[in-house]
Amino acid sequence: MIQPRIALVSSDKGPVPAIRGGSIQILIDGIKEILAQQVKLTVYSIADPSLPERETLNNIQYIRFKKDSYWAGVTASLEQKPGEFDLIHVFNRPRYVLPFKEASPGSRIILSLHNKMMRRGLMTRDEGLAVVAAIERILATSGYIAATLTRRFKEAAPKVRVWYSGVDVNRWLPVWSPEGAEIRDQVRRRHGWEGKRVLLFAGRILRKKGVHLLLEAFLLLAPEMTDLLLIIAGDYNRAESGYLRYLYRLSRPVNDRIIFAGFVPLDQLYGYYLAADLFICPSQWQVPLGRVHYEVMAAGTPIITMKRGGIPEVIQDQVNGIVIGDYRNPAALAAVIRELLAQPHRAKAMAKRGREIVEESFSFERVAGEVLAHYREVLSSP
């Protein structure tokens, strides 16, 4: 049987393999080996000093271009061999669908959307309609993203499917497993967190992520909970340096109990998840659906999150986490933190249900199998 020839075109936020992180890069990393068992796979990504421009590993061809010439490089590569791929899967960059289609007119194109990349201000209606006409299918990372797209482009509705992300459940073991418990103890000893109740935030330090709200909630709890510690794991960009300074000022009254850990690589971040007693996602924006929720559920850490965007599609209130509707209120967040810390058995029960849900619905095996089904369906259609 001849294997279909598939190209995955990653976003320009990091290389594949995902040695610099990135949600799309981590997703591709998680499914590529599974896909390569069924298809002839090529992965395009930006270059990195530690990676060659071209290589083939485990039957996967990697082609990398410098970030400032990435899109031109991919387009030129497609033009050189216009019939090389049966299908091109473009990740989260609808603007490049038309150049790719022109470069390789015989290839069918699937677009996966992980943010509102076709919203007003980023793409005109005419541009969006042209993209919709040129592609076979749109895979939205959540029902929320699918709904925002079809509200603007009703013409896209027949082509839209929801394609949730996932995690490697074989690699990410829960905290109650012997391996997970050992890592938790090691991380807590290494950082001096023994005897502390640890709250964790992980993500970019952006105002829309709501870190200030978490700090305000922590300030409400700190006087009564002297063993409480807050870890903020995440990087920031220069545009947000003023916000970071504001967070530092806000944390001064208890700065010995708030740790700004900076960027933490994914492998180490898993240890942070295991070491935490509660994970807090205080998002203030309509988040598409952050993959951090899948990761934390896999680790078996209780989750408190907000009723924003696609989050409630994966975190069900009182089932596998707490979803706060009053998302702008630090007192509401503080009350839920206090409540769960006082009821560890309840928190653990929700965390265990979260792990079960990940194993049932959000493994990379499921993610890969689902997208393979889309590839086959598209390639078999007239």
Rounded Cα gap, residues 194 and 26, in angstroms: 31
Query: What's the burial of 18, exposed, middle or buried (CB within 10 Å: 0-12/13-18/19+)?
Result: buried
User: Binning pLDDT at 50, 70 and 90, where does residue 238 land?
Assistant: confident
Helix (H, G, I), strand (E, B) or coil at 110: strand
Contact 340, 278 (CB under 8 A): yes
pLDDT score for 239: 67
Q: Is the pLDDT confidence value at 95 over 70?
A: yes
Token pair for residue 372? 């393979």
262 strand-pairing partners: 233
pLDDT score for 136: 98
User: Binning pLDDT at 50, 70 and 90, where does residue 267 land?
Assistant: confident
Residue range 17-40, pLDDT digits in tens? 999 889 999 999 999 999 999 999
**For 189-214, what is the mean pLDDT?**
97
Which of 235, 310, 231, 315 is CA-nearest to residue 273? 231
34 strand-pairing partners: none
The dihedral through the CA atoms of 5, 65, 128, 206 has a sign that is positive
Instruction: Evaluate whether 5-166+363-380 and 178-361 have a shared fold.
Output: yes
Q: Is the pLDDT confidence value at 133 over 90?
A: yes
SS3 track for 314-351:
CCCECCCEEEECCCCCHHHHHHHHHHHHHCHHHHHHHH
Q: Is the pLDDT confidence value at 251 over 70?
A: yes
User: Binning pLDDT at 50, 70 and 90, where does residue 256 land?
Assistant: very high
Rounded Cα gap, residues 209 and 18, in angstroms: 23
pLDDT score for 247: 96
CATH class label, 178-361:
alpha beta
- Pair type for strands 54-57 and 60-65: antiparallel
Query: pTM for the full model?
Result: 0.94
Query: Topology of domain 5-166+363-380, per CATH?
Result: Rossmann fold (3.40.50)
Helix (H) or strand (E) holding 148: helix 143-152
Give the chain's mean pLDDT: 97
Residue range 137-151, pLDDT digits in tens? 999 999 999 999 999
pLDDT score for 82: 85
Q: Is the pLDDT confidence value at 1 over 70?
A: no
- Helix-, strand-, coil-residue percentages of the chain, each rounded to 5: 45, 20, 35
Rounded Cα gap, residues 205 and 72, in angstroms: 31
Residue range 38-90, pLDDT digits in tens? 999 999 999 999 999 999 999 999 999 999 999 999 999 999 988 899 999 99
Domain ranges of the chain: 5-166+363-380, 178-361
Backbone phi and psi for residue 69, each to the nearest 5 degrees, phi listed first: -125, 20
pLDDT score for 21: 86
